[in-house]
Structure 1
C-alpha cells in the first residue's frame, strides 16, 4: 500500500505543479495589463513645434504646440500635426506589441506583424522600425529562477508528467479516486 500511496502523492504533486504554472501565467497577464495601461509614446516634429503623446491603443493624451508653430500657414501646421500624431500613435502600437510579445514569449509574433504593417503604411522599412523598437524598449527584468515567459509551457499534461499506467490488476480505490478526480465529463 505504501508504493501506491507514494504514486498518488506524486500524481497529486504534478497536478499542483500544473495549477501553479497556470497561476503564474495569469499573474504575468496581470503584469502585462499594468504595463500596457502605463504605456506612453511621445513624438516631436522635426522642427520641434509640435509634440504629441499617445497612450494605450493609440489614444492621444496630449498635444503641445510651440509658439513658433503659429508662424506656419494653416496647411503646413496641419501637416506637421498629422505627421507627428501618426508617429506617436505608431510608436504606441509598437510598444504595446512588444509588451504583449514579451509576456507571451513572442509566440504571437505580434511585434513583427505590427512592424510589417507600419512599414507598408508609413512607407519605410521593417529594419528601420525594428531599430526604433530596440531604442524604445527597455528589457523586462526576470526574477532569478523564474522562466522568462510561460507561453511555451502548457498547463496540460506533458508526456514526461503523464502518470504511470495503472497496474495490470483490476485497479484500486486510489486509481478510481484519481480517475474520478480528473474525469471532466461529470458523469461519475
Structure 2
C-alpha cells in the first residue's frame, strides 16, 4: 500500500473514531438530560411543620403542612414556607449539579454554575417574610364627566 493510501486510511479511521466518540457523547448528554428532567429537591422546615418538593427548574411541585401548622401565626407561617421553598430549590439545584458532574465530570463551568446557584438559592435560609401591608383602594381619576357616573349595567350612561 502506498504512503498516500496509508495516510487516507489513517484519516478515515480517525474520522470513524471521532464519530463513535461523538455518538457516545451524544448518548451521554441525552441520558443526562433525561435525568435532569426528573430531579427533585425536598426540604422540611426545622419544626417539621412544612414540607416542600421542588422540580428541576425550581418550580414548586408540592407543599404539605403537618398538624402543628395550626398553632403557627399566619405571618410566621409565611416565613416558614418561604424558607422551606428556598431550601427545596437549593436541594434541587444541588441534585442537578450532581447529575451534571456525573455526566461531564468536574469542570470550571460547573463550578461557576454551582457558585451561581449558591448565590441565588443560598444554603442559608432567607430572612422571614415581613407581613404585606394592606393597600388602600385607589379612587379612579376621570378625565371626562361622561365616565364619572358610567355604569356598565345601565342602559343610559351619564345619567
2:131 equivalent in structure 1? none
**Alignment check: 8 A CA contact 1:54 1:89 kept:** yes
Deviation at 1:31, TM superposition (A): 0.8
1:50 equivalent in structure 2? 50
Deviation at 1:98, TM superposition (A): 2.7
Instruction: Name the stretch that deviates more: 96-105 or 27-36.
Output: 96-105
Deviation at 1:59, TM superposition (A): 1.3
CA distance in 1, matches of 2:6, 2:83: 67
Deviation at 1:107, TM superposition (A): 2.3
- Pairing 1:125-164 to 2, within 5 Å after superposition: none
- Tell me how large the CA RMSD over aligned residues is: 2.2
CA distance in 2, matches of 1:75, 1:18: 60
Q: What are the ranges of 5 or more consecutive residues in structure 1 without an aligned counterpart?
A: 125-188
2:14 corresponds to 1:14: yes
- Pairing 1:53-132 to 2, within 5 Å after superposition: 53-111=53-111, 113-115=113-115, 118=118, 122=122, 124=124
1:158 equivalent in structure 2? none
Aligned length, in residue pairs: 124
Query: What whole-Å deviation, never above 9, does each CA across 1:144-165 have from its counterpart, x for those lacking one?
Result: xxxxxxxxxxxxxxxxxxxxxx
**Alignment check: 8 A CA contact 1:49 1:66 kept:** yes
- Secondary structure in structure 2 of the residue aligned to 1:57: coil
Query: What whole-Å deviation, never above 9, does each CA across 1:55-90 have from its counterpart, x for those lacking one?
Result: 111111111111211111101111111110000011
- Secondary structure in structure 2 of the residue aligned to 1:39: coil
- Secondary structure in structure 2 of the residue aligned to 1:64: strand
Q: What's the TM-score once normalised by structure 1's chain length? A: 0.58
- Secondary structure in structure 1 of the residue aligned to 2:22: helix
2:149 equivalent in structure 1? none
CA separation of 1:8 and 1:97: change in aligned 2, threshold 3 A: same
Deviation at 1:103, TM superposition (A): 2.0
Deviation at 1:112, TM superposition (A): 5.0
